[in-house]
């Protein structure tokens, strides 16, 4: 476990009723050196004073550095959640103990695939946003990328505007927003239903695709089972689960 350090809240934006974007910086002014796809842990005390850890994937893009060594992540406001209650009311300038970065949900420089299939729900899309600079570079070399991003409503699709802009500019990038509880929606290429229900239309190819799955455990388990049934071996499947009650990420 990495050593703890304090981080200071520098900005908070509520982008939907149940969704926040937060920016922090280390209190010591040092950069938070990390790989795209990693997460940070917050150390929080519950009502009984017991230490709890909550993990959030970093959403920073290396080609769009934030001033003052800030870093960013998005959180879902789970009703009654420990982190949601704290982070939605934490004063700007206040600090929280943290550790990290952690995790291995990263792009492999040795991958020899033709296409990435990126599956996400809600804030589980954050590591893919962080990966965009590397993905764009690979797309310029001929790689294809398909991002399936699911949420209950269109407002709960963080960073959708960036993904839609990239899809309009880069023919090798496809963004498919999937909305399960709101229909119709005014989004290009939108799908009704859940992420895993759209997999078949992409004709997953275990010989040439590598799949990443991040977000809600139900989506990950269903998508993982479908991809395994399609012939994907473990080296071509990468997972990061967001546990719904705590918001904690658990990689596998």
**Span 56-72, average pLDDT:** 96
Band of residue 233 on the pLDDT scale cut at 50, 70, 90? very high
Residue recorded with tokens 């001929």: 142
pLDDT of residue 248: 45
How much of the chain, in percent, has pLDDT values that exceed 90? 83
pLDDT of residue 242: 66
Predicted TM-score (pTM) of this structure: 0.93
For 81-108, what is each residue's pLDDT tens digit? Answer: 898 889 999 999 999 999 999 999 999 9
* pLDDT for residue 30 is more than 50: yes
| C-alpha span between 238 and 94 (Å, rounded) | 35
For 122-166, what is each residue's pLDDT tens digit? Answer: 999 999 999 999 999 999 999 999 999 999 999 999 999 999 999
pLDDT of residue 185: 87
Band of residue 19 on the pLDDT scale cut at 50, 70, 90? very high
């Amino acid at each position: 476990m990495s050593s703890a350090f304090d981080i200071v809240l520098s900005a908070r934006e509520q982008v939907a009723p149940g969704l926040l974007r937060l920016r922090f910086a280390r209190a010591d002014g040092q950069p938070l050196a990390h790989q795209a796809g990693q997460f940070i842990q917050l150390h929080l005390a519950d009502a009984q004073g017991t230490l709890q850890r909550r993990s959030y994937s970093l959403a920073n893009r290396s080609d769009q550095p934030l001033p003052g060594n800030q870093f960013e992540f998005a959180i879902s406001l789970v009703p009654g959640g420990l982190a949601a209650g704290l982070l939605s009311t934490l004063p700007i300038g206040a600090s929280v103990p943290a550790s990290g970065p952690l995790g291995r949900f990263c792009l492999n420089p040795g991958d020899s695939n033709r296409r990435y299939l990126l599956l996400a729900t809600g804030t589980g899309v954050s590591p893919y946003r962080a990966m965009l600079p590397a993905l764009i570079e690979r797309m310029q070399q001929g790689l294809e990328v398909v991002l399936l991003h699911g949420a209950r409503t269109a407002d709960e699709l963080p960073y959708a505007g960036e993904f839609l802009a990239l899809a309009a500019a880069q023919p090798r990038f496809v963004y498919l927003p999937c909305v399960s509880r709101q229909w119709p929606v005014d989004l290009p290429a939108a799908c009704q239903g859940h992420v895993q229900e759209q997999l078949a239309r992409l004709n997953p190819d275990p010989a040439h695709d590598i799949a990443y799955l991040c977000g809600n455990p139900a989506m990950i388990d269903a998508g993982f089972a479908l991809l395994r049934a399609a012939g994907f071996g473990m080296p071509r499947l990468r997972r990061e689960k967001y546990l719904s009650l705590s918001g904690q990420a658990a990689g596998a």
